[in-house]
Amino acid sequence: MTPAGNNSSPATLVQLLAWRAMVSGDRTAYSYCDDPRTFGELWSDVEEFASALVEQGLRPGGRVVLALPNGHDFFTAFYGAQRAGAVAVPIFPGVPPGRVLEVAKLCGANHVVVPSDTQAETLTRWRRAAGSLHISTILDRPGSAVSLPVVQAEDVAFIQYTSGSTGDPKGVQLSHANLMTNVRQMIAGMEITAEDRFVSWLPAYHDMGLILMTIVPFFLAAPLFLLPTSLSDTRPWLDAITRHRGTFTASPDFGYRLCLRQVAGSDRAANAHDLSSLRVALNAAEPVRSSTIDSFHETFGLDRVMVAGYGLAEATVGVSMGKPATVNRIDARGAVSVGRPFPDITVQILDDTDRVLPPDVIGHIVVESPANTRGYFQNPSATDTLLASPGAIRTGDIGYLDGEGHLYILSRAKDVMIHAGRTVYPQEVEEIVNAINGVRYSTAIGIDDGRLEGEQITVLVEIRPDAMPDETSRKSCVVAIARAVHDRFGFRPARVHLVAPKTIPLTHNGKLRRGELKQQYLEGRLDGAILYPIRAERPAVPR
């Protein structure tokens, strides 16, 4: 691959945008809340912002943390950092400043970009807390002409943190080549064309929402209608599909379940949305429920539109998807197939000793792809664990391939929790909780009781009872935990239980045995150990 690429085959995201600005500068790149922006406008803003960053001292390979929600700022900053030869580090924008600065420290960034509508006093406070870090907004303009570097295909374009734990951070490094490769794999595998019309509310700062739902349409100059990420109301999403005749949308299973819940029991609500233009409603990033697919089709009068997909940040994003316009394959266990791997991707199922297993035998899923990450940023031991062999990554997920090469996912990496489509490592939650006064240590477990709302995060916290002798102090502790988790992640634990010392089982070398604890909790065996809140009635046992 030549670093320069050519017009029809850009080798980097920067080339892609430059090329789009050149050949289709007047075309709308995307509309955010019905406010359109052309490729020409985007590119000129990107060049200006890149120059401003370079003038502020950003060097090629430097990291730029983006604490930005969906919107124009995000794209200017994401591509601006890359245009400057730097590495964008998009993070969930709802976290408090302290956490943003923590991530900046984690990845050695000297620059953080915050929303341009941040109030002046807030910016001042940010800058005071940030010390030598540059707190920028896309309104920053260069004072003079700056020369920008040539960006190479093997340069890292961005780092996606899948775990922001300070003890074991997992920042997936993705090169421009990785991204362009996966974009082409997904276009071929999902049969996407420039005629497709994308509608997305997914976070642009996170892999599926970013790569599949924005970079793919940019690559094809396919129309993209982007919405704010909102969990409180799914109607704007359905409205946008209806109004713009959307053909391609994507969401984790919970998003579709929320839609169904919000139009439930009302024919009028369902009829208000005409989703007949949809070609693909991708269901991925979370276990796919066949009941969701059936209800979605039935409620909106659709057929063969929702397809299950599979992917992970370490493979850039997309690995496989069911074939569009076909009936989903469902096995005897009720698992929905996530289809065959995309072109250039090989999926193998290995046993515990890394031997390849035959079809229909369950084992560890390993993905070999040119879009695979080179590894986690500054975490060689986690990278070693990730790589099964050069170019092949251990997904940590368990599943099998059927005789025709269709992949089925049966369970995922041990311990990992999925909340609202987001992967959360229990260690990240525990780190936050353990920092709270009076906490000995804690365990976070994901409980899926089969309800609509999916997996909910429950935190069990060992306390020193003498440090918290009464209800008031115990309540304060739970309140502090709920608040701290919300500040960090933007969601709250479903339940927090304070438990007696020595309730949480440890291995002989002091590691938490989360699986065992979860089992005990589900079977109600921990009820006696729960110090707060005390329940009068035995609750129904969640499954």
Q: With respect to other proteins, which residue has the nearer C-beta, 204 or 263? A: 263
Q: With respect to other proteins, which residue has the nearer C-beta, 483 or 525? A: 483
Residue 457: CB minimum distance to other proteins, A: 9
Residue 177: CB minimum distance to other proteins, A: 37
Q: With respect to other proteins, which residue has the nearer C-beta, 191 or 491? A: 491
- Which token pair is 518? 């979860």
Q: Which letter does DSSP use for residue 231 in this model?
A: S
Q: With respect to other proteins, which residue has the nearer C-beta, 222 or 429? A: 429
- d(CA 93, CA 125) in angstroms, rounded, equals 17
Place of tokens 């009820």: 527
Q: With respect to other proteins, which residue has the nearer C-beta, 323 or 475? A: 475
- Which token pair is 109? 């960034």
**Radius of gyration of the CA atoms of the chain, in A:** 24
Residue 97: CB minimum distance to other proteins, A: 18
Q: With respect to other proteins, which residue has the nearer C-beta, 233 or 516? A: 233
Please, is 484 exposed, middle or buried when counting C-beta atoms within 10 Å of its C-beta (0-12, 13-18, 19+)? middle
Place of tokens 């050149």: 22
- d(CA 130, CA 104) in angstroms, rounded, equals 10
Residue 342: CB minimum distance to other proteins, A: 32
Count CA within 13 A, CB hemisphere, residue 359: 6
**Angstrom distances, CA of residue 168 to CA of 124, 161, 164, 236, 475:** 32, 11, 8, 38, 31
Reduce the secondary structure of 16-29 to three states and give it as a string.
HHHHHHHHHCCCEE
Residue 442: CB minimum distance to other proteins, A: 15
Residue 491: CB minimum distance to other proteins, A: 6
**Angstrom distances, CA of residue 496 to CA of 454, 479, 480, 493:** 17, 9, 11, 7
Percent helix / strand / coil, the chain, rounded to 5: 35, 25, 45
Count of other CB atoms within 10 angstroms of residue 261: 14
Residue 474: CB minimum distance to other proteins, A: 10
Q: With respect to other proteins, which residue has the nearer C-beta, 332 or 536? A: 536
Count of other CB atoms within 10 angstroms of residue 30: 24
Residue 486: CB minimum distance to other proteins, A: 6
Query: Crossing angle of helices 13-24/72-83, nearest 10°?
Result: 120
Q: With respect to other proteins, which residue has the nearer C-beta, 53 or 260? A: 260
Binding site for other proteins (CB under 8 A): 231-233, 258, 261, 264-265, 420, 449, 451-453, 456, 471, 475-476, 478-486, 491-492, 494-496, 533-537, 539-540, 542
Q: With respect to other proteins, which residue has the nearer C-beta, 451 or 525? A: 451
Residue 483: CB minimum distance to other proteins, A: 3
If residue 186 lies in a helix (H) or strand (E), which one and from where to where?
helix 176-189
